[in-house]
Copies of this chain bind each other. A is one copy, B any other.
Amino acid sequence: MTAAEEQPGSAAHVLELVATGTARSRADLVRELGLAASTVSARVQELVDAGLLTESGEGASRGGRRPRLLRVPDGGTVALAADLGSHHIRTGAVGLTGTGFDIDECALDLTTGPEPAVGLLAGRLTALADRQRAAGRTVCGAGIGFPGPVDPVSGRVVAPSRMPGWHLYELRDRLAELIGLPVLVDNDANVLALGEHRAAHASLRHLVVVKAGRGIGSGVISHGRLYRGARGCAGDISHVRVDAAAERPCSCGNIGCLESVASGAAIAAALRGQGIEADSTTDILRLVEDGEPHATTLVRQAGRHIGGVLGVVVNFFNPEAVVLGGALAAAEPLVAAVRGVLYERCLPMATSELAIVAASCGPDAGLLGAGHAALRELAAEGGLPALPVVRT
C-alpha cells in the first residue's frame, strides 16, 4: 500500500501505484485502492484514453482469467530536474515511472551569486528539454532542489547561508521565464526526502531523511506527505546547538551549531588544519576509503554529533525510518556512528522498529525527487488532466 495521502482512486494515486509496480492490473488496483471494480475500471479507462497508461499484454494466471497488465508509458511525459549543490549541479529528466534520463553533472559555483548560475542552469535545462522532445517525450516542467531555504509558495530563496546575493531571489519565476516552462523549487533536503520516500519507502508514513554533504539538512515526511512546518523551514537540524561545537562561529551568525562540526565543509576545514589536503566531500570520501585515520575519525565524530541531534528528533518525532543521504552518507563510519548513538540514546520504543539506512538512490536521489515533485505539481499545467496538486 502506498502512503500517498491523496483521495484513493485519484488519477495521481493510480499512476503512482502502477509506476511503482505496486499494482500491475486492474484487479491489483481494486485490492490496493479498496474501491469497487467498476470504479477502478472506469478510472483506468480514462487514463488509457489520455495516454497516461497503456495495456501491455497479459500476465500469468493465478487460477483464473489472466490479468491485462498496465504500464505507465515511459515515452510519455517527463519533468526536467536539477539538484543544485553549492559547487555543482546535476541535471536530468524524470519520467512518470520514476526513471531518470540523460543525467549529467557539472561544476557550478552558486556562491558567486544568482544571475550567472541561473543563466547556466537555464541553458543546460533548455538543451536537456530539446533532447527530450527530440526523443518524442513531452516536457511538463522542471523541478529544482536548492541547497538553502526556499519559500515553497513564492518559489523564492530565503536567507541562505554562505551564498551572498541569493536572499529573496525569485528563483522559480526567473527560471520559468528563461526556460519557458513551469518550475517548482524546493529545498534540496525536501526533494531528497520526496525522492527516497517514493523510490524506497513508499509504504512508510513517517520518515526523516538527512542530507549530509557539504552542509547538513533534513526533509520530513509526516502522514505520508512532505512536512514543511509553519514557515517552511522544518527539518533544519544544521543550526542546532551542539556542545562539542562550543563557541565556534557558524555561517548562520550564531555559535556552536551542528554544521560547524559535522558538515562536509567543517570536516574538510579540519583536515586542512591538520595539513591534509581536502576540499570537497569527494575528497573526504576518498580519504576515508583510503583509510586515512584523521579523516575517518572526523567522519565518525560527525556521525556521532549528527546522531546526537537525531536522537532528539527520533524520540520526539518517532519516525518509522531515518534515511541517511547526501555525499557523506556513502561513508560507512558515519552511518555506523549515527546508528550507534541512536540505539544508545533513544527510547527502546522509538528504536525497536526503527530502520536506520543509507539512501538507496545514491547521488541521483535528490534529482529524482525533484523530478517527481515537478511531475506531481506541474503535470496539470503541462497537459495531464486531473493530477491534483499535492499540498502540504
Identify the A interface with B (CB < 8 A).
149, 158-159, 205-206, 218, 220, 222-223, 225, 227-237, 239-241, 243, 252, 254, 308-309, 311-313, 315-320, 345-350, 352-354
Q: When the two chains form their complex, are residues B239 and A315 in contact, meaning their CB atoms are under 8 A apart?
A: yes
List of B residues within 8 angstroms of A232 by Cβ: 318
Task: Determine how close the nearest CB of chain B comes to the CB of A169; give it in whole angstroms.
Answer: 16
Q: When the two chains form their complex, are residues B206 and A241 in contact, meaning their CB atoms are under 8 A apart?
A: no
Counted per complex, copies of this chain come to 2
Q: When the two chains form their complex, are residues B240 and A349 in contact, meaning their CB atoms are under 8 A apart?
A: no
A319 to B354 Cα, complex, angstroms? 24
List of B residues within 8 angstroms of A348 by Cβ: 159
Interface centre among A225, A236, A315, A320 (most CB of B within 10 A): A315
A220 to B318 Cα, complex, angstroms? 11
Residue in contact with A233 in the complex, picked from B218, B222, B318, B345, CB distance below 8 Å: B318
Closest to A5 in B: B223
List of B residues within 8 angstroms of A229 by Cβ: 206, 317-319, 350
A231 to B315 Cα, complex, angstroms? 11
Q: When the two chains form their complex, are residues A240 and B312 in contact, meaning their CB atoms are under 8 A apart?
A: yes
List of B residues within 8 angstroms of A349 by Cβ: 149, 158-159, 231, 233
Question: Besides the contacts A236-B315, A313-B316, what 10 more A-B pairs have beta carbons closer than 8 Å?
Answer: A223-B223, A230-B318, A231-B352, A233-B318, A233-B349, A234-B317, A237-B315, A241-B308, A252-B347, A312-B316
Closest to A207 in B: B230
Residue in contact with A350 in the complex, picked from B222, B236, B308, B345, CB distance below 8 Å: B236
15 A-B pairs with C-beta separation under 8 A: A229-B318, A229-B319, A229-B350, A232-B318, A235-B318, A236-B315, A236-B347, A236-B350, A239-B347, A240-B315, A240-B316, A240-B345, A309-B312, A313-B316, A316-B317
List of B residues within 8 angstroms of A252 by Cβ: 347
Residue in contact with A230 in the complex, picked from B149, B206, B225, B235, CB distance below 8 Å: B206
Task: Determine how close the nearest CB of chain B comes to the CB of A116; give it in whole angstroms.
Answer: 27
List of B residues within 8 angstroms of A312 by Cβ: 237, 240, 309, 312-313, 316
A236 to B218 Cα, complex, angstroms? 20
A345 to B347 Cα, complex, angstroms? 25
Task: Determine how close the nearest CB of chain B comes to the CB of A15; give it in whole angstroms.
Answer: 24
A159 to B350 Cα, complex, angstroms? 12
A241 to B341 Cα, complex, angstroms? 11
